[in-house]
């Protein structure tokens, strides 16, 4: 253990205003100095490197040191972001929101105090709430920037810091070169200033309910179909979406759901799920049990910050399962494309390049523009004349006039509106799914995720596939291999096009320590397409195991 590591840890401890992380780091330092090997290893892990802006700003475990989310790191980040705004804008402002995770409210107040004292007008939302409300607030208040303290669907021990920019960026998440410039400003603060000497001010603006009420009113206006009863179940996954969603339903006149009571109060411990992500196996078990009991038509689920939407339905045999993110995407995309045709609208549909090719087929059928972007709504939300955008990880942007980020609450309203429209026509969701298959072909998608305990393993996996790409996956030859680090995408994504028209994509997650493998296939029927997906998934699991 180097002397520098101890010096760095002691310097961090000296400026930490948080009794909790101070006690954690003091105990770790004492154990490391006594020769405890595991403590020395942990101390090194805490102080080697620094959380950096990625797909969604900062995310990491709540712990002491530059590799964790804590009040020192947040203070450095807030001052660095303030310095960036002051250097690039006149009279900058920032609006700040937060969810119910551990210390989210503390990190939000720290941000408001430091940015206000630095000369940036700071506005703090009045209570914990969904990420889409913060994204809306940036544009609604014409703020220069927005900060949302959230780790979305990450494990319970994590928190994060998502940054949006107003003005010409339109309230979208940060992209290059702004992300690098902000990171450099943060590093400069960390290198030259102690956070306990940074000026603070409690003269920031504490917002009232006007922002949330405006968001609810605009979101409720998305309902246009005739009202009818809908029997459905809702879970907020222990997050902050329930209150806003229920108020929006009431304003729209929509039927209220049966709540999964164990999961509809905000609780940053997430006691009923191992990972608070509706994509994870078992996450919707309580909702499915409730749906069976109620004889429900469907399940609506949000992730903890309510920017993602999950839907589950029962098949003809009564077996409940979540719809794949691409399935929800193509259904919403088809509904919005059909509505655009009826109203004479022209615009664009967009999805990330790891999402299904189906949306592009829908756009072509209805004469709409189509864009395939890099992963992340920081790219999708910037498409001009956008009508609808999505990514397969349950993110949907159905109302680009209101936000330029994924919005699970708005997406839920549009999905329920689709159900109402089908009811008015005497049809069911299954009929609409069949219509989509008939229109563009039967598409199916699958995903295999490999979670790692060390980030270095992700690099090893990607290098292995680059250096020796498979010539065959399952029974299908690889016709084309694309390494997007070598294309103008400049992204760590590998694509394999197969001779049966199917596609396999490999990429590291931008928010979690895992590698994702996506597969897409088209068949004459859903059964045919799903059979190919099953083959590809098994083959990729076998390749990864070796």
- The residues with which 444 forms a beta bridge, in sequence order, are 521
The residue annotated as part of the active site, out of 93, 152, 445, 509, is 152
How many CA atoms does the CB half-sphere of 495 hold within 13 Å? 19
How many residues belong to the chain?
Answer: 546
Query: Phi/psi zone of residue 282: left (φ > 0), alpha (ψ -120 to 50 degrees), beta?
Result: left
Task: Give CA–CA dist 179/357, Å, rounded.
Answer: 29
Give the relative orientation of helices 242-252 and 210-220 as an angle to the nearest 10 degrees.
50
Task: Give CA–CA dist 87/408, Å, rounded.
Answer: 34
Q: Is 425 helix (H, G, I), strand (E, B) or coil?
A: coil
Q: What is the 3-state secondary structure (H, E, C) of 230-277?
A: CCEEEECCCCCCHHHHHHHHHHHCCCCCEECHHHCCCCCCCCCCCCCC
* DSSP 8-state code for residue 174: P
**Residue entry with tokens 């004469």:** 367
Give per-residue burial for 42-68: e unless 16+ CB within 10 Å, then b: bbbebbeebbebebbbbbbbbbbbbbb
Q: Is 144 a catalytic residue?
A: no
Task: Give CA–CA dist 484/499, Å, rounded.
Answer: 20
Q: Which residues are catalytic?
A: 152
């Amino acid at each position: 253990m180097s002397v520098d590591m101890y010096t760095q840890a002691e310097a961090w401890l000296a400026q930490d205003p948080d009794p909790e992380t101070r006690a954690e780091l003091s105990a770790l330092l004492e154990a490391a100095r006594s020769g405890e090997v595991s403590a020395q290893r942990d101390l090194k892990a805490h102080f080697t490197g620094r959380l950096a802006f990625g797909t969604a700003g900062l995310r990491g475990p709540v712990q002491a040191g530059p590799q964790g989310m804590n009040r020192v790191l947040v203070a450095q980040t807030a001052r660095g972001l303030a310095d960036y705004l002051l250097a690039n804008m006149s009279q900058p402002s920032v609006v700040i929101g937060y969810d119910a995770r551990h210390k989210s409210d503390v990190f939000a107040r720290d941000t408001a105090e430091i940015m206000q004292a630095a000369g940036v007008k700071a506005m703090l939302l009045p209570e914990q709430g969904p990420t889409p409300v913060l994204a809306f607030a940036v544009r609604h208040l014409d703020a220069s920037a927005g900060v949302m303290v959230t780790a979305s669907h990450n494990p319970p021990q994590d928190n994060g810091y998502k940054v949006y920019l107003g003005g010409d960026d339109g309230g979208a998440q940060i992209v290059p070169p702004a992300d690098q410039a902000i990171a450099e400003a943060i590093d400069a603060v960390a290198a030259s200033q102690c956070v306990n000497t940074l000026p603070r001010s409690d003269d920031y603006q504490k917002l009232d309910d006007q922002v949330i009420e405006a968001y609810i009113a605009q979101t409720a206006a998305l309902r246009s179909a005739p009202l009818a009863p809908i029997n459905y179940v809702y879970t907020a996954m222990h997050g902050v979406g329930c209150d806003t969603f229920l108020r929006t339903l009431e304003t729209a006149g929509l039927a209220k759901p049966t709540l999964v009571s164990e999961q509809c109060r905000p609780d940053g411990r997430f006691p009923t799920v191992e990972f608070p992500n509706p994509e994870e196996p078992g996450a919707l078990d309580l909702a499915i049990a409730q749906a069976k009991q109620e004889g429900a038509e469907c399940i609506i689920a949000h992730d903890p910050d309510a920017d993602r939407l999950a839907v589950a339905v029962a098949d003809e045999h009564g077996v409940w399962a979540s719809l794949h993110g691409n399935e929800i995407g193509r259904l919403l995309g088809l509904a919005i494309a059909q509505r655009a045709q009826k109203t004479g609208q022209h615009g664009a549909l967009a999805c990330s390049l790891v999402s299904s090719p189906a949306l592009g087929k829908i756009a072509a059928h209805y004469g709409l523009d189509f864009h395939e972007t890099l992963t992340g709504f920081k790219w999708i939300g910037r498409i001009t004349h956008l009508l609808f955008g999505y990514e397969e990880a349950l993110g949907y942007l159905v109302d680009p006039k209101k936000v330029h980020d994924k919005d699970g609450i708005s997406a839920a309203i549009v999905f329920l509106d689709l159900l109402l429209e089908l009811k008015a026509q005497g049809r069911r969701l299954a009929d609409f799914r069949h219509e989509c298959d008939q229109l563009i072909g039967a598409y199916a998608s699958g995903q295999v995720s490999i979670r790692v305990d060390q980030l270095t393993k992700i690099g090893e996996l990607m290098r292995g596939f680059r250096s020796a790409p498979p010539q065959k996956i399952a029974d299908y030859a690889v016709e084309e291999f694309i390494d997007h680090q070598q294309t103008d995408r400049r992204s760590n994504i590998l694509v394999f096009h197969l001779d049966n028209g199917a596609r396999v994509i490999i990429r590291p997650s931008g928010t979690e320590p895992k590698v994702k493998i996506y597969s897409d296939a088209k068949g004459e029927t859903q059964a045919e397409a799903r059979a190919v997906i099953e083959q590809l998934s098994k083959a990729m699991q076998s390749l990864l195991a070796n």
